[in-house]
Chains A and B, each alone.
Chain A
Amino acid sequence: MSDNENDTVGSRRAFLSGAVAAGAGALTTSVAAAQTADPLITEIQPWAQEFGDGVDAARYGLPSEHEGDVIRRNVEWLTADTVSSINFTPIHALDGTITPQGCAFERHHSGAIDLKKDDYRLMIHGLVDTPLVFSYADLERFPRENHVYFCECAANTGMEWAGAQLNGAQFTHGMIHNMEYTGVPLRTLLEEAGFDTAGDLTGKWVYVEGADASSNGRSIPMEKALDDVLVAFKANGEALRKEHGYPVRLVVPGWEGNLWVKWIRRIEVTDGPVESREETSKYTDTLDDGTSRKWTWAMDAKSVVTSPSPQAPIKHGTGPLVITGLAWSGRGAINRVDVSKDGGKSWETARLAKPGEKMALTRFYLDTNWDGSEMMLQSRAMDDTGYVQPTKTQLREVRGLNSIYHNNCIQTWLVRSNGEAENVEVS
Chain B
Amino acid sequence: PAFAGKIGLGRAALPAEIAAWDGDISPDGTGLPVGSGDALIGEEIFADKCAACHGDFAEGIGNWPKLAGGADTLNHDDPLKTVGSYWPHLTTAFDYIKRSMPYGNAGSLSDDEVYAIVAYILYSNDLIEDDFVLSNETFFDVEMPNAGGFIIDDRAETEYALWTGEPCMANCKDDVVVTMRALVLDVTPDQVEPA
Contacts and interface: CB of A to CB of B under 8 A. Distances in A.
B152 A347 contact: no
Interface in B161-176: 162-165, 167-176
A67 B187 contact: no
B78 A402 contact: yes
Contacts of A119: none
Contacts of A401: 77
B34 interface: no
Interface stretch (A39-47, A356-364, A419-427): A419-427
A213 interface: yes
A366 interface: no
A23 interface: no
B172 A167 contact: no
Contact of B63 (A68, A74, A79, A134): A79
B86 interface: yes
A426 B178 contact: yes
B100 A213 contact: yes
Nearest to A67: B194
B149 to A, nearest CB: 5
Interface residues of B, number: 85
A275 B192 contact: no
B154 to A, nearest CB: 7
Interface in B18-43: 18, 21-22, 24-28
A68 B192 contact: yes
Interface stretch (B89-97, B116-124, B131-139): B89-97
B189 A73 contact: yes
Interface stretch (A3-11, A28-36, A243-251, A266-274): A266-274
B22 A125 contact: yes
Place the interface of chain A in its size category.
35 or more
B155 A266 contact: no
A280 B176 contact: no
Contact of B10 (A67, A138, A274, A380): A138
Contact of A274 (B11, B95, B107, B173): B95
A292 B148 CA distance: 10
Interface in A118-134: 123-126, 130-134
Contact of A346 (B11, B165, B169, B180): B169
Contact of A423 (B11, B12, B182, B192): B182
A399 to B, nearest CB: 9
A130 B100 contact: no
A237 interface: no
A386 interface: yes
Interface in A29-76: 65-71, 73-76
B74 A292 contact: yes
A265 B26 contact: no
Interface of A: 65-71, 73-77, 79-80, 84, 109-110, 123-126, 130-135, 138, 141-143, 163-168, 171, 188, 191-192, 194, 207, 209, 213-215, 217, 265-266, 268, 270, 272-277, 280-281, 284, 286, 288-298, 300, 310-311, 338, 342-347, 376, 380, 382, 385-390, 394, 398, 401-402, 414, 422-427
Given A344-B173, A345-B176, 5 more contacts: A207-B24, A217-B95, A274-B26, A345-B173, A401-B77
20 contacts: A67-B194, A70-B194, A124-B10, A130-B12, A131-B12, A132-B12, A143-B2, A164-B181, A215-B100, A276-B95, A277-B92, A281-B96, A290-B79, A292-B86, A310-B182, A345-B172, A376-B176, A390-B162, A394-B163, A398-B158
3 nearest CB pairs, A to B: A290-B75, A343-B176, A290-B74
Interface of B: 1-3, 6-7, 9-13, 17-18, 21-22, 24-28, 53, 62-65, 74-75, 77-79, 81, 83, 86-89, 91-92, 95-96, 99-100, 103-104, 106-107, 149-155, 158-160, 162-165, 167-183, 185, 187-189, 191-195
